[in-house]
A and B are shown apart, each in its own frame.
Chain A
């Protein structure tokens, strides 16, 4: 009961601050804070890598005698993950308990920190599901091969070399039986073969999405590798950059949605009739979209010539996008699903397109079918203000200022940054300053009148 009373006091003290706030522990992020680490007391300077739901690791230098603890929120000093005793010494190989408090003004009595007694490189692993932490020394740095081979009983012991997509990632669709998968760096097992292992032994091949799972390295030919519980098609990805892996069981998608600045409803996924793909009746792995794309269909649309593909009606859903930003959408292209960078494809002409996406191979085929009936005024203006001088519109762009020098009719002028935000707009003008004191960067200038519709890209 004493403990309850203490908790009541603690929470009542900070009650007004709690209104509307989450008091819950979160399993999506964790940060180390303290003078023992380089990021110091900046509460989100030292993020840890999530290797499973609620499980995090971090490798770095910890200074002896200096305190550290963990923060669970990225919105301030609110959710504390702390030691259970004051100034708790943690040594290599030990597992220590953790406590969680959601409190904007955590009393010192509860705000317990850890410390180490020897400065050095450590691997910290925190399991929030079991509220414990352990400390280890990092393993020697490993090298990773240029070629990977998979085998195992799930593949009838065939050996398959993984496809490599430039220097981005290895990616391979595997038809698996129930069994296991072994990853190695030689096509034939031998004395010098190295085997690459998941973070969690024998974990299912479908594991890894959303986690930073770095491959382990061993020469033990008896390694279990990954297991496959359910026969079917799997896609295995290995990042060339981080040597992390992701596996997933392929399930044909029933829906995809094209979204972008070149769509009729820019950056929208609501209007199924113009954004939804339809399944290919001949192949469940293929979905097809057919329709019009226009550069800057709507004047105010950010990224007017770009698009990507959503897998659900949710901006946080998995995106289909190119490996290289602004890859022209032409011909057959690989699709990237494993990276958070929000790259898009581009079109360079308006018209009718057919886009076929193979969700199993993660490829996209783009066909340009025919020019559409777009009026010439809707065509994307040539890049650069200097080109605008050839138009009836005269724009000036210097000293961080954009000025409309001349327009034959009243126009609405908008300046849009590359994030898509309208940062300045003037209505019904034939001349005058549109924006001043702009920071350096790339902007779009949309000019729209009764008979004029122009879009210019400017660089300040």
Chain B
């Protein structure tokens, strides 16, 4: 007999349909007891209506501490019911039904639903899950590195992500469940000796600890809720969104000075200058350090850089930030770094001192607190005091620790370096530049993707790879723009390839050129024949910064990375999955980068546009979705498209560092539809950005032939922000204006560019506390729509001709004529046309017909009388 217990709790939603942390940025790994159901050696925690934690320990020992993946379980308790009968326990939320055979291990071998199952509705079907069920439809996440990436050969390396077309995904957080690098999810405990959470063994290392995510097609909620339990995606300091100059070469201090001079003299806006591994002794003749050092090093190569502090000061004086490359795996060596070695060895009282092939070495014991404290206090603090802003961790050796079974070197480096920076440099945001170390790595940004090959197919993989990483919250991959290693000498410095990679980089999270130490590879963009085009790309990146930074803040709040797949917004549309090299760049821009060589100077690309209207920045036209268009682009064109209704804040051309807070901004307004947007601003590096920031809301309202843009008073405050701002409003998709008002007053400070269909209005310097408005009255109401592709069909009885005007070029068109009995009387197919005419003489006269035209993804139906 079924005994039913009903447990109902009130819901407190902060986000639409979601749950919230109790207190901003606070994490408590122990769940609310009201969300926990224990049945023998099994324990279930209802975290959200779609997310259940399933634990099983044959010792009855459960884990309430944080783990590498999960750091917070204290969520508002969702509504759910429990019931049981003699054999089964049932738990039911709004979305999921769990059935557990009491007294059993939920897992069977091979996996089956015999002991535990969860059912849910997905796309109108009941979907079954049980522990261990394979899922080939997972939408994937990311992988540790793109080292060796050639074409799409890394596709198979992508780990499972948190969303799936099956409707469910699983976080396997059991200690037994190795990540792809073989590492495990340890527990985390506060540790006073280091001042942040340290690893600990799991209470029952054989226990099952699984999170079931049954979010169906609500991918965005799945990712948001993941950040509730796994931590937010932090907001990196603003300078990381500028241009980085980076190249592995044995640069001397004078080389760096020359590079900085060249960047300046060629007017290449730059924010970061990277010092790759030859900053330290590397043991090679070519770097004047033969006999000293190697792959790992900690001491400046003073033959190349005699005055490191002076050089770093010069870098900072030019308003650049810098990072040093580290390959830490070989520990600290007495010949490469005698002072560091002696000091650490003294601190550690010789505990880890071992003889090595060259002198003595303290091996890399980062999994032990005494080593870690000695290492950071001896080496890292010193370099930080010299002016190093952040660290480029470049772990390439054994993936798990030789000292702690299952400890992932990548993840643990991320955790320790990031948290050390948070603790010891509290005036800055923590920042590392390292690889993906498995789930939970999203808390330690940003990513360095590694050594990809130089060719178009490898470039072509990166848009998909980068957007897909959003499926595990890893939203800040930084690629070696231009590629890293030579595969084909003919294209190693192909100006077109480098330009296209750079243009893609504008719309990627991190904008950094780099390549390996190969004299055949050029990464000084001012030396390329098409440098003006490359600089144009750099300028576009700097223009887009206010939008990018606003979207980075959105990432922090929502868990949705800046680059994310189209299927987040259109999960029910197959094209959103099929066109995988297209992606959203923030909320309002779709990018379809050119990733193939042009033919005869023209790049042709077939692009899918989702529902809605999209303003093509390259071709200045409004494109009506849904449709698929084959478009042609020149070398300088980048196919990116603004959502109609969007308001995109841009920097003026005068901004040379993204850390600047200009008094003037440009607002790109895509008119014709109501819309809202905002501008996020803060100090740029303040660690308390969760609460200390400013936000300015924008809205546009379409009313007849009037478009009104409202700039709301700025809310909040942050250091360094201007008190007043002026704006240049560029309203695209407008007709010639009859009149323009600024703040309610008629103005003549406007112009109209008929070619771009853009009305430009100047808004004078206005206190940010008071806001502003712009009203544009166009010549004729509704003329906007003239540019929107519409299908029109005409039948001319005198010539017995059916004519269709499709409004824009269509790749695939099918005409079918049906009689009133529903029988198809005629069928024609066309490709790549914008209109057609057909004689209908084969159709009997004096009849009604239904004409159906399918153009790409649109269906148009019209009746004609013959």
**Residues of A bordering B, CB below 8 Å:** 3-4, 7-8, 11-12, 15, 18, 20-27, 51-55, 57, 84, 95, 97, 100-102, 125, 127-134, 178-179, 199-204, 206-209, 224, 227, 229-232, 247, 249, 251, 255, 270-272, 281-282, 312-314, 316-317
Contact = CB atoms under 8 A, between A and B. Distances in A.
Interface in B189-226: 201, 206, 208
Given A130-B107, A131-B206, A7 B404 contact: yes
Contacts of B363: 15
B402 A129 contact: no
Contacts of A249: 136-137
B744 interface: no
B151 A130 contact: no
A100 B177 contact: no
Contact of A125 (B109, B155, B178): B109
A97 B206 contact: yes
Interface in B451-501: 455-457, 487-488
Given A7-B405, A200-B134, A204-B136, A22 B399 contact: yes
Most chain B beta-carbon neighbours within 10 Å: one of A95, A281, A282, A312: A312
Contacts of A200: 110-112, 132-134
B704 interface: no
A201 B111 CA distance: 8
Given A8-B403, A129-B177, A202-B128, A18 B398 contact: yes
Contact of A271 (B135, B456, B488, B574): B488
B153 A15 contact: no
Contacts of B457: 255, 272, 313
A2 to B, nearest CB: 11
Nearest to B402: A18
8 contacts: A22-B398, A55-B111, A130-B176, A229-B127, A229-B166, A270-B487, A281-B831, A313-B153
B334 interface: no
B183 interface: yes
Interface of B: 105, 107-113, 122-125, 127-128, 130, 132-137, 150-153, 155, 165-167, 172, 174, 176-178, 181-183, 201, 206, 208, 354, 363, 397-406, 455-457, 487-488, 574, 578, 831
Given A230-B165, A255-B152, 4 more contacts: A23-B399, A202-B128, A312-B155, A314-B151
B205 to A, nearest CB: 8
B487 A129 contact: no
B178 A25 contact: yes
Contacts of B135: 204
A251 B574 CA distance: 11
A130 B109 CA distance: 10
The 3 closest A-B pairs by CB, nearest first: A24-B182, A314-B153, A313-B151
B571 to A, nearest CB: 11
A312 B153 contact: yes
A57 B109 CA distance: 10
B608 to A, nearest CB: 13
Contacts of A134: 109
Contacts of B177: 129-130
Nearest to B153: A314
A415 to B, nearest CB: 31
A207 B134 contact: yes
Contacts of A125: 109-110
Given A200-B134, A271-B488, A127 B150 contact: no
Main secondary structure of the interface of A (DSSP, over half): loop
Nearest to A124: B109
A312 B151 contact: yes
B151 A55 contact: no
Contacts of B487: 270
Contact of B133 (A97, A179, A203, A247): A203
Contact of B107 (A27, A128, A132): A132
Given A272-B457, A314-B150, A317-B153, A178 B125 contact: yes
Contacts of B153: 312-314, 316-317
Nearest to A54: B178
Contact of A20 (B130, B182, B397): B397
A20 B398 contact: yes
Contacts of A251: 578
Nearest to B165: A230
A22 B125 CA distance: 44
A255 B456 CA distance: 12
A21 B398 CA distance: 6
A11 B403 contact: yes
Given A204-B135, A270-B487, A129 B166 contact: no
A49 to B, nearest CB: 12
B151 A229 contact: no
Contacts of B404: 4, 7
A87 B829 CA distance: 73
Nearest to A211: B134
Contact of B110 (A23, A199, A231, A317): A199
Contacts of B155: 312
A209 to B, nearest CB: 8
B609 to A, nearest CB: 18
Contact of B109 (A95, A178, A232, A282): A95
A23 B178 contact: no
A178 B110 contact: no
A204 B206 contact: no
Nearest to A129: B177
A206 B137 contact: yes
Given A201-B112, A313-B150, A317-B153, A179 B125 contact: yes
A95 B105 contact: yes
Given A11-B403, A271-B488, A52 B182 contact: no
Given A23-B182, A204-B137, A255 B151 contact: yes
A8 B371 CA distance: 14
B78 to A, nearest CB: 25
Contacts of B398: 18, 20-24
Given A22-B182, A207-B134, A55 B110 contact: yes
B201 A3 contact: yes
A7 B403 CA distance: 7
A255 B402 CA distance: 41
A127 B123 contact: no
B183 A24 contact: yes
Contacts of B128: 201-202, 224, 227
Nearest to A203: B134
A204 B166 contact: yes
A232 B574 contact: yes
A101 B402 CA distance: 11
Nearest to A126: B109
Nearest to B124: A178
A84 B58 CA distance: 14
A111 to B, nearest CB: 15
Contact of B182 (A18, A25, A133, A203): A25
Contacts of A51: 110
Contacts of B455: 270, 272
A128 B456 CA distance: 38
B452 to A, nearest CB: 12
Nearest to A136: B109
A398 to B, nearest CB: 45
A2 B124 CA distance: 54
A22 B329 CA distance: 13
Contact of A27 (B136, B178, B183): B178
A245 to B, nearest CB: 13
